Structure 1
Amino acid sequence: MVWDPTIFKVNQAIEGEFHLTIKGFVEGNNTEIAVVNVYGPHTTAKKIRFWNDLEVLLNFREMSWLLCGDFNDVRSQLERFNPTFNQNWANMFNKFINSTRLIEVLLGEDIVVNAWNLPILGSRPDCVVRNKLTNIRCELKKHSQVLNILEEQILKHSKAATDWESIAESRTLYDDERLLWLREKKQWIAKEKIQTNMWKQKARVKWTLEGVENSKFFFTISLKEEGTKIPSGAFPLMELGLRNHKLSVFKVCYLDFDIGRVTIEDYLVLEGKFSEDEIWEAIKSCGSSKAQGPDGFNMKFYKKLWWLIKGDIVKMFDWF
């Protein structure tokens, strides 16, 4: 385990069979906390001993506890990506969490999993998918309120880093001061990277919604820069000419080309059900970082969480 000694002061370390625990204080806070890094065993007998040891450790002293690491267990079958699932182990895990009054801190994917499995109204497959996506958007919106202070955090870290740089120009920094400077600079870069990615995604969405208007605007500017006079009603005429051009191309490519009749075999393929593999191949072929669709999610969402949503998606295609 590694920690920043300028932030966390350790006064005790405990090494167990399946865990390593450090106890101490956060700088500027008199509340004692303990961080437990665990690695769970793989057999039932060892798991029983593992949970009992942790429960004794947590009940030994009243303080704030943080458990992290690899428990080698899941709370429900929905969290298991492969077919291997042991209900008895899951029951032991849940019993330990309830008896020690621990609170599970949900990460981004956990929030989506819980939202997808919330009760919904309606039974039609397309409505089911729509309502589940709505639940995810609502839950993520609540969770993203934490990111509303992103701009303030960037300003805070940039100011601190700049201040340290100013001090470094006047004198040599001590080791602990240099650590603080590097930490502020690292946080500044990380927060700006998050902000940049958010702006990129918003820009893609804006282009999807306003692409036609933006194209017309830039086309107007380019004509003006070339000194071309744009008469009143020019754009409707241009659009009409474009439509006529597309129609002529369509006639050449399709109407004047003998494509033959659809065979019985082709008909059966076209009228057949979509297979899960067929849907997945179509999803994989799409760009992950393209602008979101009308549902508010881009293809990266469907690719990353296909294991969770594929059942409902396939039902929707079957219904269609």
Structure 2
Amino acid sequence: MKTISLNIRSFKIRGKYYVVGWCRRLIVKENPSFVALQETKLHLVDLYWIQSLWGMSNYNFIQKEMVGKSGGQLLILDTIAFDAIDVILSDFYIGIKGVWRSSGIGLNIINVYGPHDDTNKQILWDSLHNLVDSSDEAWLLCVDFNEVRNQGKRLNCDFIEYRALKFNELIANSSLIEIPLGGRNFTRVSDDGIKFSKLDSFLVNHRFVDMWKDLTALALDRIFDVWLDDEEADTIISDAWRLQVSNINRKDCVFRNKMKNVKNALKVWSNNKFNKLDTEIGELKKAATIFEIKAELGPLNWPDLKHWRETRKHWIDKERIKRNMVKQNVRARWDVEGSSLEDLSFPTLSIDEANALEAELSRGCNASFVTLIPKKIDALGLGDFLPISLIGSYYKIISKILSNRLRKNIPSLIDS
């Protein structure tokens, strides 16, 4: 059984779900039975959004939306491995009670994101103690209490001893065991690279240990969620668009071939520009990690701290370039809003061109694939699925161009 627990610190960056792609790749790679996410900073999401994150249809989930501009929790489970029976809801945690299918033993999963103030911390710890003490079944708690058990789990930031004592009392009184977290010494570092803390942990009871005796936990490497636009891509797209294509009478086929030119040019450009990028990122990451490990052992002197910050900045810049290589540039360029396509010097449609667009599209220009999307959990019958057609960017661009052109003429077509 494998579980992923992450403090996302918001799925949205500048209004876009950039972190979703990283989480999806991690989930697909690790194939976990459970995923516990804290600080999603999301309102309630639907089945389709969850499936896009999980990547498969065998899932169930429970969620708690953010309050104000903070919080939000999500717990996703593999329905093949785990049979959910009941849900657990609280102000500071969500959970699912069920049965581990391979053994038939009761198993309960809790996803916790703790408050910052003393009063609510005590309410949370009392509630968790009563919850775990109410059943002798196996318990797994994926927790971010915003608190640590001892001073060794904080560096260059405040350690409040009486809070740590209360935290340890909860673990002792509830007969819980903290799984030792391997990997890095700390799971969170401040943006200035000075303050470190280890707030994330897995807590289990003895019944859980009896089921899975060889328990290990590993802290993931830190990532930077950064994006930018590369102006060079605009030139690559413009030059490729202006290339001559074979003499074809059908205008839609000409458009299709121009799109192929753009696609091929972007592939060549990205390979030439970024073939050494992974190596550069690896070297910068290694250098930053050396300074970070050194900082965990004691305060850095000013030259080292300055070098560390510069290294982290270069690392972030390279990550920005890598993550924006082709996908984001193409998406931004072909958004077809306002004058974005006019920058590429599109000519005005002639009568013949307009008639060609109104005519039937040539064979191969509008291919699509039909897939079935489940409308509910554990969909079985045909009526439980929604068929949709997956179409290529070619048709989407034509549709967007036509809608934008029509939008300009709507006022003259509609009587006020």
TM bracket (short chain)? 0.3 to 0.5
Structure (1/2) with the larger strand percentage: 2
| Structure showing greater Rg | 1
Higher helix content, 1 or 2: 1
For normalisation by structure 1, the TM-score amounts to: 0.38
Scaled by the length of structure 2, what TM-score is found? 0.30
- Larger RCO, structure (CA 8 Å, separation 6 or more): 1
